[in-house]
Structure 1
Amino acid sequence: MRKLGFIKWLFLGLVLVVGLGGCGKKQSQSTAASSQQAKKVLSPYVTSERPTFYVHGFQGSAKSTNTLIAHAEKTAHAHKVIVATVSTSGTVTLDGTWSAKTRNPIIQVVFKNNLAQYDQQSTWLAAVITAVKAQHPFKSYNIVAHSAGCVASVNLLMTKQASDFPKIHKLVTIAGPFDGVVGEDDVANQNSVLADGQPKYLHAAYELLVAKRTNFPKGVQLLNIVGNLDDGSHSDSLVTNVSARSIKYLLRGRQVDYTEKDFHGKQAQHSRLHENPQVALAVDNYIWHR
């Protein structure tokens, strides 16, 4: 009897050990799953369906934004889904497919007439946004613009659109000639900023925007990228630092969340800025980083 009792208790002990082992294994698997899920959540870049439009500048083309877009695809898990080409007559052609739930979609904008005035490019950009929205509805969007594309983008945001037109979320301006271009209507080291922040000389582009500044939507997040060759010109060769920074005074009172980043040296030259990997990283982090 004692032997049978001993065997019974030994059997129960084994069952208990095996059961606890199983619970431990399940708990370990559960912990591993939770850890794996946490890693996904902690990705440094967001997963968003909000589109970002990349806009080139005067005399620009797809090449002007190719490097920035490629960097965004590699670093921020973005995806170029559409190339929107605007013909010289203003016809918009969309090439590509924007699949549902594509992460951080990008639309590359290309103007066939890359010598058009700012207001004309603004009209075309609005047509692009409208055409993309008709194909794939969205309520808000971002813009990354270079050079004259910055002025066209800001002018678009100051121009009244249809009530169902999408809302701007974030805007990145790279080397924006808001108050003149060196060699055209501006001269290096000629302009300056007055005590109240206003540029001393107001050129044609600035006057265009001043007339409509109160139409700029409130609460926009803006990253303004400024290039300085550090050669004494206080410019990126084509846009003076005063011209590029003049957007801040222009948008005073519009509750803009303004951030400025300066880049220096040879890689801060006007056209090299959109090829500069540090600029690309700054753009990616501003648009998509958590």
Structure 2
Amino acid sequence: MKRLFLLSCAILFFLIVMIGCGNKNTTDSASQNQSGSELPSSQTSKENKSDSESSEIENTKQSNIPTLFIHGYSGTDYTFNGMLSRFESEEYGKQQLTITVQPDGSISEVGDWQEEADNPFIQVLFSDNKNNEWNQADWIRAVLVYLKTTYQIDEVNLVGHSMGGVSSFRYLIAYGNETSQPVVNKLVAIGAPFNDFVEGNESQTLTELKQDGPLVLSGRYSEFSAAIQQYPVSTKMLNVVGDLNDGSKSDGTVSLSSGLSIGYLMQSAKRDYSEKIIVDEQASHSQLHENDEVDALVSEFLWGN
């Protein structure tokens, strides 16, 4: 009997040990399964991020139409270097050429033009960077004639900061319908003083400006008004202006009234025109081309689907 009791105890002890080991194995297996499920989740997250980045690139309209970037009064390559670098990093396109124009209209270039490049960028520099908008318009024409005769380029976009925007607009109403230059598909003006720096429009609201045009006209604006019907019908325009939100109603240099005054003429002429006010303490005149919101507006307008 005693031996039977000892044998029963031994069997019971053995069963308890086996059950305990089984629970441990089950726990370890569950732990391994849980760890295993985290790795694919992490990989999926990376895949989703990669897919998102790919989607952004896919949503960028690709073409071999170059975009010319034109600085303002006293501007240099520094004006657009930052924006071009950011656009390249976002894979919107790539800078192919830097073209420098001398006062006599002669042209030199640095870079390597690739005919099949996607969204190529061309930076345009004026050797005499403090000259007037009439000469700058002639120099823009010289650049475009050069691009058409040298590289058989038939279409371009223009992006101009400050006077670069004014000179680009003047080019369009003076020469934009000539066949010796490429067709300008789109124009982006950033901080451009279309009504110069005249005084007397401070009391006018932006609604009144849009409905009636500015109260006081500069010589520049009067010339634009007289020639607005010469602005090419097919050229879309985006006008970006800055408001420091400090009560000045300006970007610190160009007033909202001057910058937005061109909208009245474009609306009157029934041209394709849109505008955007960047309200930001960082929306100063010389920093508009370094503003993330401006980057987004310009890239969407030029290359968005």
TM range, smaller chain: 0.7 to 0.9
Distance 1:248 1:195, change over 3 A: closer
In the alignment, the residues of structure 1 paired with residue 184 and residue 282 of structure 2 have an alpha-carbon distance, to the nearest angstrom, of: 29
Mapped partners of 1:121, 1:103: distance in 2: 28
- Out of 166, 183, 193, the residue aligned to residue 167 of structure 1 is 183
Structure 1 position 92, deviation (Å): 1.2
Do the aligned partners of residues 87 and 190 (structure 1) sit closer, same or farther apart at CA in structure 2, a change above 3 Å counting?
farther
Indicate the RMSD between aligned Cα atoms, in angstroms: 2.1
Aligned to 2:46: none
* Correspondence 1:53-92 to 2 at 5 A: 53-92=68-107
The residue matched to 1:196 in structure 2 has which SS?
helix
What SS does structure 2 have at the residue aligned with 1:205?
helix
Q: Structure 1 residue 122 and structure 2 residue 148: aligned?
A: no
Residues 76 and 253 (structure 1), Cα distance of their counterparts in 2 relative to 1, 3 Å cut: farther
C-alpha contact 1:75 1:284 (8 A) present in aligned 2: no
Letter in 2 for 1:68: M
- Structure 2 alignment gaps of length 5 or more: 1-50
Conservation of the 8 A alpha-carbon contact between 2:193 and 2:259: yes
C-alpha deviation, 1:159, in angstroms: 0.8
Q: Which residue of 2 aligns with 1:242?
A: 257
Alpha-carbon offset, residue 51 of structure 1: 0.8
SS in 1 for 2:87: helix
Kept in 2: contact 1:191–1:201 (CA 8 A): no
5+ residue gaps, structure 1, are: 1-35
Q: 2:92, 2:299 within 8 Å by CA — same for their partners in 1?
A: no
- 1:189 alignment counterpart: 202
**Alignment length (residue pairs):** 250
> Contact 1:76 / 1:284 at 8 angstroms: preserved in 2?
no
Match of 1:22 in 2: none
Q: Is 1:269 aligned with 2:287?
A: no
Q: What does residue 177 of structure 1 align with?
A: 193
Q: C-alpha separation between the residues in 1 aligned to 2:151 and 2:267?
A: 34
Flag the structure with larger Rg: 2
Which letter maps to 2:110?
A: D
- TM-score w.r.t. length of structure 2: 0.76
> 1:243-288 CA deviation, whole Å, 9 max, x = no partner?
1111111223433222212112221100010111221121111101
For residues 104-145 of structure 1, give each alpha carbon's deviation from its aligned partner in whole angstroms, at most 9, with x where no partner exists.
011100011111111110000110111122221122110111
- After TM superposition, the structure 1 stretch with the greater mean CA deviation from structure 2, 165-174 or 190-199, is 190-199
Question: Do the aligned partners of 1:219 and 1:254 also contact (CA within 8 Å) in 2?
Answer: no
Distance across 2 between alignment mates of 1:173 and 1:166: 19
Moved more, 133-142 or 232-241: 133-142
What TM-score, normalized to structure 1?
0.80
Q: 1:195-240 CA distances to partner (integer Å, 9 max, x unpaired)?
A: 7331111012212322321111113211110100111110001111
Tell me how far apart the structure 2 counterparts of residues 78 and 174 of structure 1 sit (CA, whole Å): 20
The reply to whether residue 203 of structure 1 matches residue 203 of structure 2 is no
Letter in 2 for 1:163: T
> 2 CA distance for matches of 1:188 and 1:246?
10
Is the 1:188–1:235 Cα contact (8 Å) retained in structure 2? no
Of 43, 46, 66, the match for 2:58: 43
Moved more, 255-264 or 41-50: 41-50
**8 A contact 1:218–1:254 mirrored in 2:** no
* Residue range with higher mean Cα deviation, 156-165 or 92-101: 156-165
Paired residue secondary structure (1:109):
strand
Higher RCO, Cα 8 Å, sep 6+: 1
